[in-house]
Structure 1
Amino acid sequence: MKLSFTKMQGCANDYIYLDCRKSGVPENIAALSEKLSRRHFSIGADGIICICAAQTAGADGMMRIFNADGSEGRMCGNGIRCVAEWLYTHGIAKETLAIDTLSGLKTVTHKGAGLWQVEMGAYSAMPASLPAVNMGEEPLVDKELTVDGKTWHVTCISVGNPHCVTVVEDVDSLKLEEIGPAFEHHANFPERINTEFVQVVDATHLKMRVWERGSGETWACGTGTCATVAALTELGICPAGEDIHVQLRGGVLTIRVLPGRQLLMTGAAETVCEGITEV
């Protein structure tokens, strides 16, 4: 069977995009994501994002995310910008789009050629929102977490999916392939965790690397960047109400914390190629 796809990336967070608005999500989507995401052996990506028919009245579409290991994610900040760009260039040329996700309806606004701003919603540091266990009942801000015998200071944030943020002196020197899996599968996070390692350049400039559950290290993570700025705002390092510029391996995202712990994310979305593959 032949499958039409679009390859897109936001800050090098690259996914294979499928138009499922009429056909629905393929029954074998988990196996398909594992197969097509293999780098060097297939199309290669961080996973598959299905662009589906909207579930909410008045919405323009729905996004469903399947990681490279076949597991389904709830939200992807870089992915939703690409979905907006895809819809915008495939017949829904509206300056503001409403897109359903498993983390709720998101509003995405066109800010220029290939540039989109996403209203990401409110974040939470409460254990039940992640979920996290064995870490107390109060907000998970500046908590100690022992991972493979080493104690880290972490702040845990939910932005529709769970994140564990820790400040380090030098992100480039970290061996994420060794420490990332231990965070992801830590017993305190029964649904696994995304982990961000962040270096503070100054109050409005950060440098970050991310280990994503189900995908390993990726060159960018939109929700992870939001969680990082939220965490450092809670820690008093970054100011609320100002643009915080985060340097990722794949580019820069700009995040602002608004009143009510609401998050605003701005970044690019780019089509890499379109094609047809045998499945």
Structure 2
Amino acid sequence: MTAAPAPPLQHFAKGHGAENDFVILPDPDGRLELSADDVIRLCHRRSGLGADGILRAVRCAADPEAAPMADSAEWFMDYRNADGTRGAMCGNGIRLLARYLVDAGHCAPGPLALATRAGTRHVHVPTRSPDFRGPVSVMMGRPALPGPDGIEVTAGRRSWPAVHVDMGNPHAVAFVDDLAHAGDLRTAPTVTPAHAYPHGVTTEFVTVLGPRHLALRVHERGVGETRACGTGACAAVAALRARDPRSPSRGDYTVDAPGGRLHIRVHPDGMELTGPAAVIAQGALTLRPAHDGPAADHVEHQKATA
């Protein structure tokens, strides 16, 4: 009896942006069929590689979803949340993906256009150090504040008014006196009215530390509490600026998250997000069928890179 052939190996990389961590799956020719179950098992903190999400790197021309953007970008960020759902935009994820593409030799350092479900974003991977390890920046576009008024966030026994900010994905930003008041965030905060966010929402709890200096905690839609959130940091700045109609058209802001510090530069045409991004390991894995159980993702080889 002939044994069944072994599943093919899939290369992966693991990295983070301000400790918001991701598994990168390079798929330049669009051959990888990645199911929601695959994503859930890979992101599991005990039986998988552990991550806040998956970044599948595929050339736009090889992916039907991204093909319309092939004229503006070579690569597409197919972002999946840890619960297997597809995400439109991820500020830390796109910065990490750009770092990986440069480190792997797929792209040159400097300016780089990447396609996302929220449109094309322009990233800059610096060249000022021999190993290109400086912070990575991305133009995030203009925030939108679509309303409605009267949004409220509840965590534990506390409730706060919140602002709806759209950064290519939906956010509810609540200003609090103490970040500890948000509780342990093991369960998603309740956000009302429910019709404001028919597809779920990422929630930010924000304190003001000083002029143009914020700190936050985040419960990400489809993930849970994360150590940082790039779109969430931008949403927090947008909500802060909305409180003061005299805010200038330009300005630099600092946002501290549990995983690190992010910098937001406000331009007349949108926000620029800058922060750390590092690839920390690479290896190969097999994606086994879902019936193989929770330990379905087998790491064949892993090499630390940091």
Q: What is the TM-score normalised by the length of structure 1?
A: 0.87
Per-residue CA deviation, residues 24-60 of structure 1 (Å, 9 max, x unaligned), is 4x32431111001000221100121101103321523
What SS does the corresponding residue of 2:216 show, helix, strand or coil?
A: strand
Aligned residue in 1 for 2:167: 159
Is 2:215 the counterpart of 1:195?
A: no
Q: Could you tell me which amino acid in structure 2 is paired with residue 126 of structure 1?
A: P
Cα deviations across residues 184-203 of structure 1 (Å, max 9, x unaligned)? Answer: 99453111110000011012
Counterpart-to-counterpart distance in 2, 1:109 and 1:125:
27
User: Structure 1: where are the runs of 5+ without partners?
Assistant: 128-134
Contact 1:198 1:206 in 2 (8 A): yes
1:258 aligns with 2:267: yes
Residues of 2 paired with 1:223 and 1:182: CA distance? 20
For the pair 1:126 / 2:136, whether they are aligned, the reply is no
Instruction: Please give the per-residue CA displacement for 1:62-95, whole angstroms capped at 9, x wherever unaligned.
Output: 1011111100000000000011111111221131
1:45 is the counterpart of 2:60: no
Find the partner of 2:111 among 93, 96, 99. 96
1:29-68 matches, within 5 Å, as 29-54=35-60, 55-68=69-82
Deviation at 1:244, TM superposition (A): 0.7
Deviations 1:91-135 (A, max 9, x none): 2113100000000011111235241111111111014xxxxxxx3
How many residues matched?
264
In the other structure, the counterpart of 1:17 is: 24
Residue range with higher mean Cα deviation, 223-232 or 186-195: 186-195
Asked if structure 2 preserves the Cα contact closer than 8 Å seen for 1:85 and 1:114, the reply is no
Q: Which amino acid is 2:38 matched to?
A: L
Contact 1:201/1:207 (<8 A) preserved = yes
Aligned match of 1:231 in 234, 239, 243? 239
Residues 239, 169 of structure 1: CA spacing in aligned structure 2 closer, same or farther, 3 A cutoff? Answer: farther
CA distance in 1, matches of 2:153, 2:15: 37
Partner of 2:284: 276
**In structure 2, distance between residues paired with 1:74 and 1:176:** 27
* Change in CA separation of 1:146 and 1:73 when aligned onto 2, cut-off 3 Å: closer
Kindly indicate whether the alpha-carbon contact (under 8 Å) linking 2:121 and 2:139 is maintained by their aligned counterparts in 1: yes
CA RMSD of aligned residues (A): 2.2
- Residues 263, 274 of structure 2: 8 Å contact kept: yes
**Aligned partner of 1:180: which letter?**
A
- Farther off after superposition, 231-240 or 189-198: 231-240
1:27/1:244 CA distance change after superposition, 3 Å = same
Does the C-alpha gap of structure 1 residues 31 and 144 become closer, same or farther in structure 2, counting only changes over 3 Å?
A: closer
Q: Does structure 2 conserve the Cα–Cα contact (< 8 Å) formed by 1:208 and 1:248?
A: yes
Gaps of at least 5 residues in structure 2 are 1-6, 61-68, 288-306
The TM-score with structure 2 as length reference comes to: 0.80
* 2:257 maps to amino acid: L
User: 3-state DSSP class of the match of 1:98?
Assistant: strand
Distance 1:94 1:144, change over 3 A: closer
Helix, strand or coil at the partner of 1:243: strand
